Chains A and B, each alone.
Chain A
Amino acid sequence: MEHVFAYLMRFHHVGVEPAWRTDFWLVALSYNLMAIVFYGRRLIGDIRQRKAGNDSRPVNDAITAWKMGLLMFVLGWIPLIYHAVTHVMG
């Protein structure tokens, strides 16, 4: 398990200055927060459409898609938290 984590969390040392990552961490955090607002509005719209009976998709698209989106979002936060603990605060 440790090896898998180390593999997934490694840097490639291709010549990018480490300082860029710390700055980028803030960009990534902002991107995630913007995603909450952007997709949150879509979710509210989808729920309204569904309540009004206008969901034309064949396999219950909107709601199951949102469960997937939520999982994707949570997974996106793992490296953000990891980087905060190991590099930004550490």
Chain B
Amino acid sequence: MSRVNYANLLTFSRFITAPVYVWALWRHSPGWALGSMGYAALADFLDGWVARNICCTSDLGEVLDAAGDVFIFLTGILAGAFFGYVSWWPVAVLLSGGAVSAWGRMLYARKVGRAANYKSRPSEFLGGAAFALLLVYAVDFYTEYHTWVLALFTWWVAVRDVREIAALPPGQEVE
């Protein structure tokens, strides 16, 4: 199957929202920031739906989807700290938890022997909350509080997921 398909194009279009979001934070334009993240959320929903119901689920699509989430979130949160919407401390704690989580997922991909993302309910919650964090940055809405809460949960989930992944026998995938 071709790597260029509607689902992957939608996923790829999400990458473009990150520079728009950064520009919006720089220019203090909440409308553009909220709009760009609104599109990112819509495309995130649609690419999965298109892949499952119309065409083309693939390992590449799955990895691209996860990479898109990480890219948008990482760019957004760093821009938030850089432009003064939040202080660096909670951001550093949050990103270090994210790094542990990413390491766990690399461990999982190695265990199952292919480029697969480890999906767990807690990490799904974090995805929704991370998206909300970029929304609260857009309007400077209790950013310090939200970032600390998400940072603590990120560490909790990272440790939990890594323990689960470590307990899996080699080759076993979790659906």
A24-B139, A72-B149 are known contacts. Are A14 and B84 too (CB-CB below 8 A)? yes
A11: nearest chain-B partner, CB-CB: B140
Residue pair A8, B145 in contact (C-beta under 8 Å): yes
A59-B163, A66-B121 are known contacts. Are A79 and B86 too (CB-CB below 8 A)? no
Residue B85 at the chain A interface, CB threshold 8 Å: yes
Residue pair B122, A69 in contact (C-beta under 8 Å): yes
Chain B residues positioned under 8 Å from A10 (CB to CB): 144
A23: nearest chain-B partner, CB-CB: B139
Residue pair B149, A76 in contact (C-beta under 8 Å): yes
Residue A78 at the chain B interface, CB threshold 8 Å: yes
Residue pair B85, A57 in contact (C-beta under 8 Å): no
Residue pair A15, B28 in contact (C-beta under 8 Å): yes
Residue B141 at the chain A interface, CB threshold 8 Å: yes
Q: What is the predominant secondary structure among interface residues of chain B facing chain A?
A: helix
Q: Which of A17, A27, A68 contacts B135 (CB 8 A)?
A: A27
The complex places the Cα of A46 from the Cα of B167 at a distance, in Å, of 22
B118 to chain A, nearest CB (A): 11
Residue pair B142, A83 in contact (C-beta under 8 Å): yes
Chain A residues positioned under 8 Å from B168 (CB to CB): 58
Residue pair A59, B167 in contact (C-beta under 8 Å): yes
Question: Among the listed stretches B59-67, B91-99, B124-132, which one makes contact with chain A, having 4 or more residues with CB under 8 Å of it?
Answer: B124-132
The total number of A-B Cβ pairs within 8 Å is 104
**Interface 1/0 per residue, A8-39 and B, CB below 8 Å:** 11111111110011001101100100010001
The complex places the Cα of A57 from the Cα of B118 at a distance, in Å, of 11
Residue pair B129, A76 in contact (C-beta under 8 Å): yes
Q: Which of A7, A12, A65, A79 contacts B140 (CB 8 A)?
A: A12
A10: nearest chain-B partner, CB-CB: B144
Chain B residues positioned under 8 Å from A76 (CB to CB): 129, 132, 146, 149
Residue pair B85, A28 in contact (C-beta under 8 Å): no
B33: nearest chain-A partner, CB-CB: A16
The complex places the Cα of A8 from the Cα of B175 at a distance, in Å, of 38
The complex places the Cα of A72 from the Cα of B105 at a distance, in Å, of 23
Measured CB to CB, the residues of B under 8 A from A are 28, 30, 34, 83-86, 120-122, 124-125, 128-129, 132, 135-136, 138-146, 148-149, 153, 156-157, 160, 163-164, 167-168, 174-175
Measured CB to CB, the residues of A under 8 A from B are 7-17, 20-21, 24-25, 27-28, 31, 35, 39, 42, 46, 56-59, 61-62, 65-66, 68-69, 72, 75-76, 78-79, 82-83
Across chains A and B, which 3 residue pairs bring their CB atoms closest together, nearest first? A65-B121, A15-B28, A79-B142
